[in-house]
Amino acid sequence: MCRFALVVLVSFLLMSCSAVGHRPDIPTVGSIPLVTFVLDDGNDTDYLVGKKIFAAQGAVACSAITTDRINTPYHLTPAQIIALQKAGWEIMDHTVSHPNLNSLTTPRLEDELLRSKKILEGMGLTVNNLVYPFNKNNETVRSIVRKYYRSGRGGTNSFNLGQFDPYFLKSFALKHDLPLMESHIDQAYRDKSWLIFYTHEIDAKVKITDSHGIFTKGEAVTLRPSGITARYTTTHWFPLYGSYMYIVPFSGVPQPGETITGVSSGATARIDYIMYNDLTLLSDMISYIHTRYPDMKIVTTDQGLDLLGVPKK
């Protein structure tokens, strides 16, 4: 009698599962709205600018490291990467040399995917998740990634919703358009999906006028009257439109009318207007999430996978 009851119960459970088409081996999103920020390529602005932006609002992000670029100009040093993980950031793998993984032979794929992880782990870091360079991946790539990682992130500018593949995590490229980014956050909250944003260097683009002299790539610049210090990246000039300068402000918010002076070159230029400033964009997005949707969690990739019940590697 007891066995009969068990058979009935098991049959009922099987029928209910198939009725809703649920496969217990595939994680499901839909109970909690989640947001993740990933900074790709291991630029030093993750540490020099990003760490403060997120810490100011009690949040953390992920830094995806391409190991060949560690300690090269404008990229993170080992000490900075370790400091990010100690501050609660997740360090993700972004391969050894940032190739298009779809174009590699299996031995090279194995090398790109495993050696980078070993290098990072050799620095004492915990590395569970991968970001595909150029967001490119195919079934061959994913079959190898499954051996070494808990997940792999691609692009597609879409949400992770319903039953999702952890080796094909979807994400949105950060656009310099706060209302658009807020609309993605609104939608993720409504659908209780997992929204992943990714970007690269945290910098600012300003239109300049009254330019004198030539700035040197990488030099320190000061802004007056605000007193903000920044790093000069490059200037682009277009006929009809004029000149645009890329800088990395380390703190503060540059304003139109300020004078930029190169500390070593002595070159000067005046800010006509601000095209974008990633520092304020990211701050505004985090603040929007916290104030508008206090129950929406900002998580690292690994924390997101934990909350969704994806098995650890």
Residues of the shown chain interacting with Zn ion in the complex, contacts defined by CB under 5 A: 40-41, 133
Dihedral of CA atoms 155, 156, 159, 160 in degrees, nearest 10, equals -60
Q: How far is the CB of 131 from Zn ion (least distance, A)?
A: 7
Residue closer to Zn ion by CB (options 40, 278) is 40
For Zn ion, the nearest residue by Cβ is 40
Q: Are 90 and 127 in contact (CB under 8 A)?
A: no
User: Of 131, 127, 286, nearest to 202 (Cα)?
Assistant: 286
User: Of 298, 300, 304, nearest to 57 (Cα)?
Assistant: 298
Q: How far is the CB of 60 from Zn ion (least distance, A)?
A: 20
Quickly count: other Cβ atoms within 10 Å of residue 14's Cβ. 10
Write out the H or E segment, with its range, that includes residue 93. Answer: strand 90-93
Residues contacting 122, CB < 8 A, separation 6+: none
Residue closer to Zn ion by CB (options 27, 154) is 154
Residue closer to Zn ion by CB (options 37, 189) is 37
Residue closer to Zn ion by CB (options 41, 258) is 41
Q: How far is the CB of 95 from Zn ion (least distance, A)?
A: 9
Q: Give the CA angle between residues 97, 110, 98 to the nearest 5°.
A: 15
Residue closer to Zn ion by CB (options 40, 203) is 40
Q: How far is the CB of 204 from Zn ion (least distance, A)?
A: 21
Q: Are 27 and 309 in contact (CB under 8 A)?
A: yes
Q: How far is the CB of 25 from Zn ion (least distance, A)?
A: 30
Q: How far is the CB of 200 from Zn ion (least distance, A)?
A: 7
Residue closer to Zn ion by CB (options 40, 90) is 40
Q: How far is the CB of 96 from Zn ion (least distance, A)?
A: 12
Residue closer to Zn ion by CB (options 40, 302) is 40
In angstroms, the CA 191 to CA 28 distance is 12
**Token output for 260:** 């930029």
Quickly count: other Cβ atoms within 10 Å of residue 116's Cβ. 24
